[in-house]
């Protein structure tokens, strides 16, 4: 782990506190995760949403664009790509590839992270993702991807199927492929390519920095893997969530059979209630409570749902 450091979390949660926090996170995820997927698809024509093959392909494109980008912009861009190419996007990808310049007007709406923008121009990153998606579809030929995924016995086997293609493996990172598999396979999220075969307990958590932050600040995990030694830089306390995923998955599996909902609940709390810079943090009283859009959906009483159990190891940051 060159350049990375392990540290003790600070205050560690008890077994009973861990159980209560995981329960609360699962509740938030169960309420908000289906709504998020609806937000992705509600601007698509009914003929896409009602067609499992089209929707499965569309969500693959969305997950590709969502990497290292602002999620709302990536999802809006995916919808506008479909509006540009219509069903050619799914069944005539070669036609889209040779007309990819038609997507130039979309480049301003696709917001990538500043770090990515320094490496490659925004439209270059965009073209790599969309071009990779279209090339993969060309490689599929007449293969029905939904049928192939439905033959997989577990979500992990579906991940292996996707990553058996060298192109997909190179452009769809592990976190993104886990997110995609949950979108298309979790029995409560509307697509369910497995037709009920994949049990909720078989999924793997995507885990991003915000999920890692919540598990660290609450003391749900005992050790943190982070960027450097204290005082070595302004980013020394930034969590390396991908390296912490196994320990986060382990504590979740001890307390829940639905780790996807726990993951999404932690993400939502991390984004909305527990900001990195601590401005507007909602531990005891949330300054956003009067206009928060998720508050009435999750039964929030104006402060963080983890308030009574969180250990407030506020040192740790997502980014």
The answer on 48 and 25 residing in a single domain is: no
CB 268 within 8 A of CB 295: no
Give the domain-ending residue among 167, 183, 198: 198
Its domain, for residue 214, covers 5-30+204-298
The answer on 190 and 98 residing in a single domain is: yes
What tokens appear for 192 in the block? 């369910």
CATH code for the domain in which residue 12 is found:
1.10.1670
Domain assignment present for 10: yes
The answer on 262 and 186 residing in a single domain is: no
The answer on 48 and 147 residing in a single domain is: yes
Domain assignment present for 218: yes
The answer on 186 and 56 residing in a single domain is: yes
Average pLDDT of the residues of the chain = 92
The answer on 158 and 224 residing in a single domain is: no
Model pTM score: 0.93
Backbone phi and psi for residue 149, each to the nearest 5 degrees, phi listed first: -65, -35
Domain assignment present for 61: yes
The answer on 194 and 50 residing in a single domain is: yes
Give the domain-ending residue among 151, 181, 198: 198
Q: How many CA atoms lie within 13 A of 67 on its CB side?
A: 22
Give the domain-ending residue among 198, 216, 235: 198
The answer on 212 and 91 residing in a single domain is: no
Cβ atoms within 10 Å of 58's Cβ, excluding its own: 22
265-285 burial, b at 16+ Cβ within 10 Å, e below that, comes to bbbbbbbbbbbbeeeebbbee
The answer on 286 and 168 residing in a single domain is: no
Backbone phi and psi for residue 224, each to the nearest 5 degrees, phi listed first: -115, 135
pLDDT tens digits, one per residue of 265-293: 999 999 999 999 999 999 999 999 999 98
Domains held by the chain: number? 2
Domain assignment present for 304: no
Domain assignment present for 317: no
Domain assignment present for 22: yes
| H or E stretch covering 39 | helix 15-41
From first to last of its 319 residues, the chain has per-residue pLDDT tens of 457 899 999 999 999 999 999 999 999 999 999 998 888 888 899 999 999 999 999 999 999 999 888 888 899 999 999 999 999 999 999 999 999 999 999 988 888 776 665 656 667 778 889 999 999 999 999 999 999 999 999 999 999 999 999 999 999 999 999 999 999 999 998 889 999 999 999 999 999 999 999 999 999 999 999 999 888 888 899 999 999 999 999 999 999 999 999 999 999 999 999 999 999 999 999 999 999 988 999 999 999 999 999 999 999 999 8
pLDDT tens digits, one per residue of 26-42: 999 999 999 988 888 88
């Amino acid at each position: 782990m060159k350049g990375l450091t392990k540290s003790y979390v600070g205050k560690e949660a008890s077994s009973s506190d861990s159980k209560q926090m995981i329960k609360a996170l699962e509740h938030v995820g169960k309420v908000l995760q289906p709504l998020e997927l609806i937000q992705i698809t509600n601007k698509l024509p009914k003929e896409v949403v009602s067609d499992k093959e089209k929707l499965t392909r569309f969500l693959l494109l969305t997950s590709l664009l969502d990497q290292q980008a602002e999620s709302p912009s990536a999802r809006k861009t995916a919808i506008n790509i479909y509006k540009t190419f219509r069903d050619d996007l799914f069944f005539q990808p070669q036609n889209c590839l040779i007309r990819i310049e038609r997507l130039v007007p979309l480049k301003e709406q696709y917001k990538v992270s500043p770090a990515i923008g320094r490496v490659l121009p925004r439209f270059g990153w965009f073209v790599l993702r969309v071009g990779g998606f279209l090339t993969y579809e060309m490689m599929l030929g007449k293969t029905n991807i939904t049928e192939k995924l439905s033959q997989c016995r577990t979500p992990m086997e579906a991940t292996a199927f996707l990553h058996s293609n060298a192109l997909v493996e190179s452009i769809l990172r592990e976190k993104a492929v886990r997110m995609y598999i949950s979108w298309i396979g979790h029995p409560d999220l509307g697509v369910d390519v497995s037709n009920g075969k994949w049990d909720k307990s078989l999924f793997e958590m995507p885990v991003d920095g915000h999920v890692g932050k919540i598990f660290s600040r609450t003391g749900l995990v005992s050790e943190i893997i982070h960027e450097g030694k204290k005082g070595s830089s302004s980013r020394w306390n930034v969590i390396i969530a991908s390296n912490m995923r196994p320990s986060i998955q382990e504590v979740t599996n001890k307390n829940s059979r639905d780790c996807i909902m726990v993951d999404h609940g932690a993400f939502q709390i991390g984004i909305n209630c527990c900001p990195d810079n601590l401005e507007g943090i909602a531990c005891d009283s949330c300054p956003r409570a009067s206009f928060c859009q998720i508050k009435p959906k999750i039964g929030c009483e104006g402060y963080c749902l983890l308030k009574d159990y969180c250990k407030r190891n506020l040192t740790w940051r997502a980014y």
